[in-house]
Amino acid sequence: MSKIRHQSVAPTETRFLLPGDEVTPHVHDDNQVIYASSGVLEVFVESGTWYTPSVRAVWVPGGMMHHWQVHGVSTVHMIGIPTSFVQNLGHEPSLITVSPLVRELLIACSNQGKSKTPQARRLLQVLGDQLVASDHNSSMLPVFTDLRLVRLQEIVEAEMSRNLTLAALGREVGASERTLNRLFRLEAGMSFVTWRNQLRMHSATLRLAEGHNVTRVSNESGFSSPSAFITAFRAAFGRTPGSLYR
């Protein structure tokens, strides 16, 4: 990993980016919200990867090392927010629900840049009052430390359409099904089935941003059918893929 940059002030700005553009690892003292109003955003922190289309934003607390990348032609809005302006979010990264009001506030605050006037600070404070962690944290992939889980993830990702059982994967990585179940609860905080569904959704979301159609995406990402994928996508993001990627 490249050298981690330190920024005392979190940038507040709007960037127009091409597929694959990224920001290298860095840390800033301020809290920051990162939002892609078009395209798909991936934010990487030590504990895992947060990814989301335009219905969610990512909250990055001050002092947390992170980097991020976009998929598809993207417009990214970054807003640095003082802790005193935010009452509803903690000291861990999380997804933020982007209602129509929050969307407009995110865009307005990022476009105005650093809040230098009383009017700009009031707008930023209104945004801070509206920021609420999403109840749907289904678009987060944990980083594994146990080498058996690392290898298991490599196997699943190599051929997403294979529907191997945990017992079969255990034989390939040298661990019993019971041991792997325990490790998933310990390192991921979820079951193997839930984790694999999130991994598939991650793959599908990025492929949609690259312009692939729903049928191809659902097949390549391991969903049983396009309708099953659409149902899972709506459950994760509250919208259908078609409504977000027309």
Region of poorest pLDDT, from 60-64, 129-133, 240-244: 240-244
Burial class (CB in 10 A: 0-12, 13-18, 19+), 46: exposed
> What CATH number labels 5-130?
2.60.120.810
Element housing 195 (H / E) = helix 192-209
For residues 184 and 149, is the Cβ–Cβ distance under 8 A?
A: yes
**Domain layout of the chain by residue ranges:** 5-130, 143-244
Split at pLDDT 50, 70, 90, the class of 1 is very low
Q: 5-130 with 143-244: one CATH topology? A: no
- In angstroms, rounded to a whole number, what is the distance separating the alpha carbons of residues 56 and 51? 9
- What does the pLDDT read at residue 67? 94
Dist. CA 134–CA 235, nearest whole Å: 13
Percentage of residues of the chain with pLDDT beyond 90: 71
Residue 139: is its pLDDT beyond 60? yes
Q: How confident is the model at residue 235 (pLDDT cuts 50, 70, 90)?
A: confident
User: Rounded to an integer, what distance in angstroms lies between the CA atom of residue 161 and that of residue 42?
Assistant: 23
pLDDT by residue (tens digit) across 105-120? Answer: 999 999 998 888 899 8
Cα–Cα distance, 68 to 224 (Å, whole number): 30
Domain range 143-244, CATH class: mainly alpha
Has residue 3 got a pLDDT over 80? Answer: no
Q: Which residues contact 122 (CB under 8 A, 6 or more apart)?
A: none
pLDDT digits (tens, 9 = 90+) for 149-203: 999 999 999 989 888 999 999 999 999 999 999 999 999 999 999 999 999 999 9
* pTM for the predicted model, two decimal places: 0.90
Q: What is the mean pLDDT of the chain?
A: 91
Q: What is the pLDDT of residues 54-78, one digit of tens each?
A: 999 999 999 999 999 999 999 999 9
Residue 58 phi, psi dihedral angles, 5° rounding: -120, 130
In a 13 Å sphere around the CA of 89, the CA atoms on its Cβ side amount to: 30
- 227 in Cβ contact with 219 (< 8 Å): no
pLDDT at 137: 59
Where does the pLDDT of residue 2 fall: very low under 50, low under 70, confident under 90, or very high at 90 and above? low
pLDDT of amino acid 138: 65
Between CA 59 and CA 94 the distance in angstroms is 5
